[in-house]
């Protein structure tokens, strides 16, 4: 059997402002942006460049109970992990785009990592795993 997690839904306030951040600042690729007439919403999928893993489904909050989770989908914990093959290249590029880092880079046993916020305040790790770490082969 082979299975994969295809998408993670990320609740956003607005499709276009989310696209400006993820595609404009993080340089993610727009995989799909199509209108779903039967539900009167868009199906918007983005992913890191050259990624073959999980993609983000940008899901616009449409009810009050959904809106309160925008920016706090993990209760203040790091929610998503963006692994890279070159930490310093991506860290510097993200800083140049105005991405806010809330924890400075640190070298750990498992790799080099820093924490940044997305446009809504969700926390992300930017991480380059140490060669030989079980996750390192997934980003090479």
Convert the pLDDT of each residue in 60-101 to its tens digit: 999 999 999 999 999 999 999 999 999 999 999 999 999 999
Structural domain for 47, as ranges: 1-65
In this structure, the answer to whether residues 15 and 43 fall within a common structural domain is yes
Where does the pLDDT of residue 135 fall: very low under 50, low under 70, confident under 90, or very high at 90 and above?
low
Structure tokens at 108: 């750990």
In this structure, the answer to whether residues 48 and 80 fall within a common structural domain is no
Q: What is the pLDDT of residue 139?
A: 58
Domain count, the chain: 2
Report residue 107 CA to chain centroid gap: 21
In this structure, the answer to whether residues 77 and 61 fall within a common structural domain is no
102 touches 123 (CB < 8 A): yes
Q: What is the pLDDT of residue 133?
A: 59
**Interval 8-30 mean pLDDT:** 98
């Amino acid at each position: 059997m082979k299975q994969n997690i295809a998408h993670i839904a990320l609740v956003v306030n607005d499709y276009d402002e989310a696209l400006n951040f993820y595609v404009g600042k993080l340089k993610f690729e727009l995989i799909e942006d199509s209108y779903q007439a039967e539900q009167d919403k868009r199906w918007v999928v983005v992913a890191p460049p050259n990624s073959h893993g999980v993609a983000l489904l940008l899901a616009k909050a449409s009810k009050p109970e959904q809106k309160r989770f925008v920016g706090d989908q993990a209760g203040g914990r790091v929610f998503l992990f963006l692994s890279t093959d070159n930490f310093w290249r991506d860290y510097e590029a993200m800083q140049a785009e105005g991405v806010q880092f809330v924890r400075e880079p640190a070298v750990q046993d498992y790799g080099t990592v820093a924490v940044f916020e997305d446009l809504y305040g969700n926390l992300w790790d930017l991480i380059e795993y140490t060669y030989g770490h079980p996750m390192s082969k997934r980003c090479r």
